[in-house]
Amino acid sequence: MTILAIIMLLGGNTLMAQNKIEQQIKTASASFDQGDIQTALDILQDLKNAEKITSEQKVEVYKQITICYIFLNQEDTNIDEEKKMKLAQESYLKLLKTNNIYEPDSNDIIDYIRFTNKFTSKPLFVITPYVGVNTSFIDVLQYYGTSNLSDTASYYGLNTATPYTPNFTNITAGVNLNWNIRKVFSIEFGGGYSMRSYGYRESLLYGSQPFTLSFTEKQEWVDLSAVLKFDIGRSKTLIPYIYGGVSYNLLLKSRLDFVERSFSELPIELDIIQARFNSNGSLIGGVGVKWRVFGKHYLTIDGQYGRMIRKVNNIDNRYTISPARELNYNLGYVDNDIRLNNARITIGFAYAIYNPRMKE
């Protein structure tokens, strides 16, 4: 006998077994409809551990067992009301463990639907690793310079544009842990790594000679966040959400790259982390969608905006540290007071950990 013939034989046997199980489920349903609930229960109890039973069939078996216990007449059995309800609860919990995302159909028996409302199959925890890109936007709180800044806008050419430009290719990655506290509310804790950068370019006059200064500041951060998340709608497949919260931001590195200055010889890279506060805080908010494409797990698309609470530069070190003197004297640049805001878009895989249970 060839391997192909063996596979076809085994497949045929499995299909026949599943068809037999399907017929027995229908027989049990017919017995229930005729009022013979005990016979229906006997058939279903034998089926729940049957070989070659599919997950869909097992869900249907546990559903019918649950319904049978709900309607079982106490006078026709030695099972009292409390025991009967306990058995119904055990059966429905087994159903939810077989299919974590099961929900009753609107056409099901109303007593059964009311009974299922006592349970929740929402994930207890969801672990979401993510990766994406971010960009930083600069709020200038106060301009500084080596010349008279009485007309700041004219000095920096701000009548036409800001000297700061965002970069859109910064990488961010991390992981979130979501804890479900209510049907649509959850608390999410996150930890991530972000590369952030922005460009700077000023055009000034040196006597009658025009000259420019330009550089890119590159930073590396660790971000720890806590947010309250709200799921929108009742769909099990596509779930939009919104959230808001706070983030603690720890600065790891800060340096100037691609420094160009007219009339000067400049270092290729300048470490300026001493001129920056090593930590900050942010108010964050975002929107996103969870898309169930991996059975009981999700693909997530998330957009977030964060506004830092305080400036990033340490004004006590504006003139005193070695990198500041390099900026002040060799480049003719004084650090402005700035706040660094951030927007990001990420894609993640949400691995859901389920614990079907009765509601408290």
Number of structural domains found in the chain? 2
Which helix H or strand E contains 270, and what residues bound it?
strand 269-271
What three-state secondary structure class fits 330?
Answer: helix
Contacts of residue 211, defined as CB under 8 A and 6 or more positions apart, other chains included, come to 203, 204, 205, 261, 262, 263
Which of 50, 85, 118 is the endpoint of a domain? 118
**Both structure tokens of 58:** 């097992």
Give residue 225's pLDDT band: very low, low, confident or very high (50, 70, 90): very high
CB atoms within 10 A of CB 124: 14
The torsion angle over the Cα atoms of residues 276, 280, 284 and 288, rounded to 10 degrees, is 70
Asked if 188 contacts 229 with a C-beta cutoff of 8 angstroms, the reply is: yes
Give residue 268's pLDDT band: very low, low, confident or very high (50, 70, 90): low
Average pLDDT over residues 118-144: 89
Which of 76, 96, 118 is the endpoint of a domain? 118
Average pLDDT over residues 206-210: 63
Sign of CA dihedral 38, 42, 43, 44: positive
Q: Give pLDDT, residue 207.
A: 59
Asked if 59 contacts 103 with a C-beta cutoff of 8 angstroms, the reply is: no
Give residue 4's pLDDT band: very low, low, confident or very high (50, 70, 90): very low
209 lies in the same domain as 102: no
105 lies in the same domain as 164: no
146 lies in the same domain as 248: yes
133 lies in the same domain as 93: no
Cα separation, 129 vs 48, in Å, equals: 37
In 181-232, at which residue ranges do the beta strands (DSSP E only) sit? 185-206, 209-231
92 lies in the same domain as 232: no
Whether the pLDDT of residue 130 is over 90: the answer is yes
Amino acid identity for residue 114 in this structure = R
319 lies in the same domain as 172: yes
Which of 89, 118, 147 is the endpoint of a domain? 118
Whether the pLDDT of residue 136 is over 60: the answer is yes
The torsion angle over the Cα atoms of residues 16, 19, 25 and 30, rounded to 10 degrees, is -120
User: Residue 95 is part of which domain span?
Assistant: 3-118
Q: The whole model's pTM is what?
A: 0.79
User: How far does Cα 92 stand from its chain's mean position?
Assistant: 30
Give residue 14's pLDDT band: very low, low, confident or very high (50, 70, 90): low
Cα separation, 141 vs 120, in Å, equals: 49
Highest mean pLDDT among 10-14, 147-151, 164-168, 193-197: 193-197
